[in-house]
Structure 1
């Protein structure tokens, strides 16, 4: 595949861009194999209407409210260890699956395709149901979608503590680097891919970004130096740009192991308690 896209940069960039546009909006697994989580014992399971389907989630524990927001292709199960740690430490967690993810229903584009805007809309309906949180713990695209949802809903984001694990920054830079981690995308392919993706998603890529946002909330960014889909330099750039952000750099955890690492879970709990 990599050699094919390298050749397509020279001889068929338009065709390659169409293929990549389809792949970009395609989820990594269908209903039978998608990542899922289970509601913990003692939690309350809920379903909320969203985009003509249902958002599935659970409400667990008592104390300051914390939202757990998964990324692209993820689920509530990603936060199994972090959720248990937070509840044991006196927090209330609300975790949810966005359309076409986890235990949620199929979204507007079916079981295998979704958009970042669908993740934003799911966060919006959760905000409407449960209100402004004390904190948000998010992974990958969940960091991008949760921030944009709070800005859209008028949430006073400066008072929310944000723990971002392997954040996806979005924008043309983020999309180019994430796609480039899978297949080589040269400038001729990418310049054709951008308008196709923007037309399908209904938003300019640079309007769906963490870059350029003035975030003065307390932010903890956890990013592994070996993260391939979301390069470490992106998390470093956010930490440098936001006045109340700190960076926890890890090694050997990649993109997903940060979700289950005890040291990361402990630092998230400490950050939310500060």
Structure 2
């Protein structure tokens, strides 16, 4: 892990816990548990790691006009559905008709963050499916109980939703949702085209930053990783998406577009380049949109929809040059089990 990784990822996690005003207390607790009860320390660390940030709830907005499965007039007017995953109930909505495009939100987020993609996709002739992950939004708790989730669970939800609705022409996914989608595809989920917005390439640097932010010592830290692997039933190395993607034969993975803002403070902007190079795929950088506002940018939405609509030879995967293939958009002003400040 480079110092650049350390600086960028540590600042995000420390910021998250400072907002919760518990950093100092937790550092004392973990320092004590390191010597007296490392098993309890590992359990506490795992609980914190698997807890998405709580976001202020917003009241449902009534549709602006006649609703239904074939139109989008508001975030609550689509055809509602539920699907059972890992003992929990996932709630979602679908609009339009045609090839299926799935929209996957990030850690601590909700489907509503991606609703800007729905109208142009429906107008372009696609059926669009959105949902809240377990322990997020209007969906029920997952296997870990209320307000707890894992990256593996995100991937399981996507797979279950696709199984319910049909083969994925495309997935547009944000943050940890993008990482979960990459994991599902690498594990065998068929997808024709993939858009990753602000993805994480590998959870290990974030786990290291999490440990440093809370003063988690080596004994408790080792317990944390062991518990993570036991929880999801696989090695943490399986979540290194860049390494796994780079090892695949050329042309085996679906075409990929990565959209990443240079000023993202939630994930390392270098992760986008890692994914675009390893997959391989296209990388497009924006400036001044950050981690969440990028989802509402009209030009970002347009690029994603245009990529979903591409056909023919241009749809074939290709290894990008290090420079961006498209000019940047500039705006003024500017894993395993999840991660404390992402979504």
TM-score, normalised relative to structure 1: 0.83
Distance 1:206 1:98 in 2: 24
Q: 1:156 aligns with which of 190, 197, 211?
A: 190
Pair 1:25 & 2:50 matched: yes
Distance 2:116 2:62 in 1: 13
Cα pair 2:102 2:129 within 8 Å, conserved: yes
| 1:168-203 deviation line (CA, Å, top 9, x unaligned) | 2234234435x37x9366773644532233233433
Cα pair 1:224 1:254 within 8 Å, conserved: yes
Q: Matched residue of 2:213: which SS?
A: coil
Q: Which residue of 1 aligns with 2:227?
A: 196
Deviation at 1:37, TM superposition (A): 7.2
TM-score, normalised relative to structure 2: 0.68
Structure 1: state its 5+ residue gaps: none
Cα pair 1:99 1:106 within 8 Å, conserved: yes
Cα pair 1:165 1:223 within 8 Å, conserved: yes
Q: Which residue of 1 aligns with 2:101?
A: 66
Q: Matched residue of 2:157: which SS?
A: helix
Distance 1:66 1:39 in 2: 24
Return 41-50 or 160-169, whichever deviates more.
41-50
How has the CA–CA distance of structure 1 residues 273 and 226 changed in structure 2, closer, same or farther, with 3 Å as cutoff?
same
Cα pair 1:53 1:99 within 8 Å, conserved: yes
Cα pair 2:159 2:189 within 8 Å, conserved: no
How has the CA–CA distance of structure 1 residues 103 and 9 changed in structure 2, closer, same or farther, with 3 Å as cutoff?
closer
What is the aligned length? 266
Q: Which residue of 2 aligns with 1:172?
A: 204
How has the CA–CA distance of structure 1 residues 133 and 226 changed in structure 2, closer, same or farther, with 3 Å as cutoff?
same
Q: Matched residue of 1:134: which SS?
A: strand
Q: Cα RMSD over matched residues?
A: 2.9
Distance 2:216 2:304 in 1: 38
Distance 1:250 1:190 in 2: 35
Deviation at 1:16, TM superposition (A): 6.3
* Higher RCO (C-alpha 8 Å, min separation 6): 2
How has the CA–CA distance of structure 1 residues 187 and 242 changed in structure 2, closer, same or farther, with 3 Å as cutoff?
farther
Q: Which residue of 1 aligns with 2:116?
A: 81
Distance 1:155 1:140 in 2: 19
Return 101-110 or 165-174, whichever deviates more.
165-174
Q: Which residue of 2 aligns with 1:126?
A: 161
